[in-house]
Amino acid sequence: MPTYNVAPLLLIKEKKNLIQRFHEKLTRNKREKAKQNHHSKRSPQWCGITIHVAENCPYSCTYCYITEMGFQFDSPSPSPLSGNQLVFSLLHNRSFLPGRGGTLIAMGSVSDPFLLPEKTLNYLDALTSLGNPVQFSTKSYISENLARRIKEVSEENKSGVSPLVTIVSFSYASKLEPNAPTPEQRLKTIENLANADLQPVLFLRPVIPGVNDEEAKLIMKRAKKAGAKGVVVGSFRVTKAISTRLEGMGIPLVEVKKRVQHKLDARQRSVPLYEREKLLKEARNIGLIPWRTTCCANSFQSSVPCPSACFLGKFCTNCPNGCSISDHVPPKDEVEKALTFLRIRGNVQKRKVIVYSSGTRVPKMLVRNLSRRVVEVSHRNI
């Protein structure tokens, strides 16, 4: 991976220029609606900032958590924003930085983006115009023509698009994902994306201990044959409602309950995945690039360092992106200028930044790396 210099102050100044540019594209009414939209207010997660093309999902996956978040297993309700409005909304988000060195963007979460392919293409076109790494996750069937259109958007804006295609089981598919396209259709999606010269990644999440963990190797082999570049291996989050749904479909949860140390309730609890290292090793042997996190796959696609600095800890899989050996730490004076520009009091040290509460010397946050995430976190003006 080549040296990638991060200049946070330049990103912040570019944001102001972009706000003016998109301001001129929208009417006053559309600008106000964009500024009031939730995309202008949410903070990024580790995977980046999530983009909601729609809310609700008819696929009704029994392991899904969207009902716990207040959404429904129902027809998708499209976002009211146009692509340009979405970008304008993001540019007014204090936590968002535009550009290839800026905030990672992830499309999915509370609905499948390709339930509404035209709206998703409109969003992809607008988002990739910013240059940010953009990722989508899907269980939908993507045709050859649609895959080509995704590639055209990526090429036109000279911005990487990272496709994640979820396949978690063959034998339990009808019970785990009763209304979603079949695993065979999704393998064809991987093939179509690969043939369009994109780099599809198998999204093997959730791996549910005692349910689909034994199939994981076969799924990875089939995905590799279809054209997958890598795989993200993810664990399972369970609640009482999810447990009830799964057991109602005849899914055995003996091992899951054995691993969860707490009584199940409305809170999402991550089920320990002791098999993860074995699966990552098997993926590498099969010829897939293994990742623990979706943000790593997104960073790989755009050849930028992981903004969460996963390589500093246990999450790094030493993939070809080479984050741990790349010189991507911004100069100390750049970080100091960025904090001053944002009127944030912070003490910039060699590998960390201490952000102080206003008017005190009480540390508010410790950021343990000087990656671009320092500026994302600082930009929240805590």
Confirm whether 3 is domain-assigned: no
Q: Is residue 154 part of a domain?
A: yes
Radius of gyration, alpha carbons of the chain: 21
Question: CB of 121 within 8 A of CB of 150?
Answer: yes
Q: Is the dihedral of CA 333, 339, 345, 346 positive or negative?
A: negative
- In this structure, the answer to whether residues 334 and 305 fall within a common structural domain is no
Residues 273 and 333 grouped into a single domain? no
- Which among 249, 247, 229 has a CA at the least distance from the CA of 238? 247
Does residue 356 form part of some domain? yes
User: Lowest-confidence range among 20-34, 67-81, 265-279, 322-336?
Assistant: 322-336
Which domain does 157 fall in, by range?
A: 8-328
Cβ neighbours of residue 222 under 8 Å, at least 6 residues apart?
167, 187
160 in the same domain as 53: yes
Judgement on whether residues 231 and 182 belong to the same structural domain of the protein: yes
Residue 92: its pLDDT value, please? 95
Does 382 or 88 have the greater pLDDT score?
88
Residue 321, SS3 per DSSP? coil
Last-in-domain residue among 311, 328, 345: 328
Same domain, residue pair 214 and 315: yes
CATH label of the domain that carries residue 187: 3.20.20.70
Q: What is the reported pLDDT for 4?
A: 44
> Taking 50 as the threshold, does the pLDDT of residue 363 lie above it?
no
pLDDT of 325 reads 65
As a whole number of angstroms, the distance between CA 281 and CA 178 comes to: 30
Strand order from edge to edge, sheet including 134-138: 49-51, 105-107, 134-138, 161-166, 201-204, 230-233, 289-291
Taking 80 as the threshold, does the pLDDT of residue 310 lie above it?
no
Residue 1 lies in a domain: no
Do residues 292 and 240 both lie within one domain?
Answer: yes
Query: What pLDDT shows up at residue 359?
Result: 54
Residue 280, SS3 per DSSP: helix
Band of residue 335 on the pLDDT scale cut at 50, 70, 90: confident
The answer, yes or no, to whether residue 60 has pLDDT greater than 60, is: yes
Residues 318 and 354 in one domain: no
Out of 72-81, 99-108, 355-364, least confident range: 355-364
Q: Is residue 31 part of a domain?
A: yes
Is the distance from CB of 98 to CB of 48 less than 8 angstroms? no
Residue 320: per-residue pLDDT: 93
- Measuring CA to CA, how many Å separate 352 from each of 118, 295, 343, 374? 43, 21, 18, 9
The domain boundary residue, chosen from 312, 328, 344? 328
* Whether residue 316 is found in the same domain as residue 358: no
d(CA 71, CA 258): 29
Pick the more confident residue, 362 or 295.
295
> Does 185 reside within a domain?
yes
Structure tokens at 219: 């799924």
Asked whether residue 206 is domain-assigned, the answer is yes
- Reading the block at residue 34, the tokens are 């964009």
Number of domains in the chain: 2
Question: pLDDT tens across 90-124, in order?
Answer: 999 988 889 888 889 999 989 999 999 999 999 99
99 and 86 in a single domain? The answer is yes
Domain identity same for 257 and 200: yes
Last residue of a domain, one of 305, 328, 351: 328
On whether residue 277 sits in a domain, the answer given is yes
**Same domain for 220 and 340?**
no
Is there a single domain that holds both residue 138 and residue 263? yes
